[in-house]
Amino acid sequence: MNQSGALAVAAAAFTLIGFAGEGRAADCTAPADPYDLSHEQANAVYECLKDDLYAGYQQGDKGWIPSEMVSGYRKWGAATTAPANPGFHGGRFLFTYVNETGFDAYTEYAEDPDIPAGTKIAKESFTIGEDLSVKPGPLFLMEKVAAGVSPETNDWYYMMVAPNGAPQAIDVETACSACHMENYGFQGGLGYPIEDVRLPK
């Protein structure tokens, strides 16, 4: 997969990606303020929303984003026990999946991880408003490529699919890689789930 074109795509406004999905999503509400939400409550919100999240991401052509990543990520391993808001990605709650290639390495949650090329990560997202309404967010995707293929992004490809399935043009160096390395450079640029929702070792 050649993503050199994607790396040079003009930036899209990251915070504007928040289209509401159709269907049951409109019926999902949070039982508490997002900052007071328990992990059990966050899981209940996710269960209400998850079918619509997936269906939304599948709509339409995926352009430069590999369609098999978007269609197949739910077959990967869940790397979190509940969705949680780590404070990035626009304050969205994230639920993380990792493919078999990288699952074991990723779920060590190491500070100096050895992540193999071919690792793929998908993060579903949603927001909870002040009125406790829930809205689907983008699907964030990462793929680890061979050393030296994309040195400007620490050999990670970053991609994003809107809640309505549209591929999103983003400047992956400034909107994705720079943020990951600034905040998580000590762990290879990986923004793991918060500690409370990591898989037990």
CATH of residue 27: 3.50.70
For residue 39, tell me if it sits in a domain. yes
pLDDT at 150: 86
Residue 24 banded pLDDT, cuts 50, 70, 90:
low
- Judge residue 63's burial from the number of C-beta atoms within 10 Å of its C-beta, 0-12 exposed, 13-18 middle, 19 or more buried: middle
pLDDT tens digits for range 80-90: 999 998 666 66
Domain that holds residue 76: 4-193
pTM for this model (two decimals): 0.82
pLDDT at 179: 63
For residue 198, tell me if it sits in a domain. no
For residue 199, tell me if it sits in a domain. no
How many C-beta neighbours within 10 Å does residue 133 have? 14
Four-residue CA torsion sign, 76, 17, 5, 158: negative
For residue 200, tell me if it sits in a domain. no
**Distance from first CA to last CA of the chain, Å, rounded?**
33
φ/ψ (deg, to 5) at 45: -60, -45
For residue 37, tell me if it sits in a domain. yes
For residue 27, tell me if it sits in a domain. yes
pLDDT at 151: 86
**How many structural domains is the chain composed of?**
1
For residue 9, tell me if it sits in a domain. yes
For residue 201, tell me if it sits in a domain. no
Residue 44 banded pLDDT, cuts 50, 70, 90:
very high
